[in-house]
Structure 1
């Protein structure tokens, strides 16, 4: 439980400020903020070094978060279109 609280605090500290309306996200082309599972995975890679180089591990993490940001943007865009039509 203490480890989960630590990871949650790290994720909250790394997260950018949110807008007041959750359906109107900030327009940011960067990756999503670090999540608890992503921080946990990165810490695991530090303490149990993977078979791949660290640069590749960090590149993969950055690519994954960019992909998630693109998916989030598409989701919000579709939701806004559905709400205006309905």
Structure 2
């Protein structure tokens, strides 16, 4: 086996690990109490479907980014937050939640720009 192949395999392992970590946080992959195999398979399938839903929405957002310059594109975490607050548990008005999301994303864009400026100044 060549060194290139080994590096490729090792790199793909990290992608899998990152996906599992993301699914644990976003889709509740780790919130199931395994009692029987069929229920575990159903739970994992639903968690992976939820993660795929978030990933497709995020990819679509990044391709069709028509947001202003001072907002970062929607992340999977932000899509999950909006989905939960607008659809699952609508406590506040939709306009309030959307303006809160805009504020958070604008703040993240400013923080990222400052971070990049600081990194460029230290090099």
TM over 0.5: yes
Structure 1 residues 17-41: Cα deviation after superposition (integer angstroms, max 9, x where no partner): 9xxxxxxxxxx73210000011011
> Residue in 1 aligned with 2:119?
79
Aligned residues: 73
- For structure 2, the residue ranges without an aligned partner over 5 or more in a row are 1-47
> Residue in 2 aligned with 1:66?
106
CA distance in 2, matches of 1:16, 1:9: 11
TM-score with structure 2 setting the length: 0.54
Task: Call closer, same or farther: CA 1:29–1:47 in 2, change over 3 Å.
Answer: closer
- Larger fraction in helix: 2
Q: CA deviation at 1:12?
A: 1.3
The structure showing larger relative contact order (alpha-carbon pairs under 8 Å, at least 6 residues apart) is: 1
Secondary structure (helix, strand or coil) at the match of 1:15 reads: helix
- Residue 36 of structure 1 pairs with residue 83 of structure 2: no
CA distance in 1, matches of 2:75, 2:62: 8
Structure number with bigger Rg: 2
Secondary structure (helix, strand or coil) at the match of 2:85 reads: helix
Q: Give the superposed CA RMSD.
A: 1.8
* Contact preservation (8 Å) 2:58, 2:75: yes
CA distance in 2, matches of 1:51, 1:13: 27
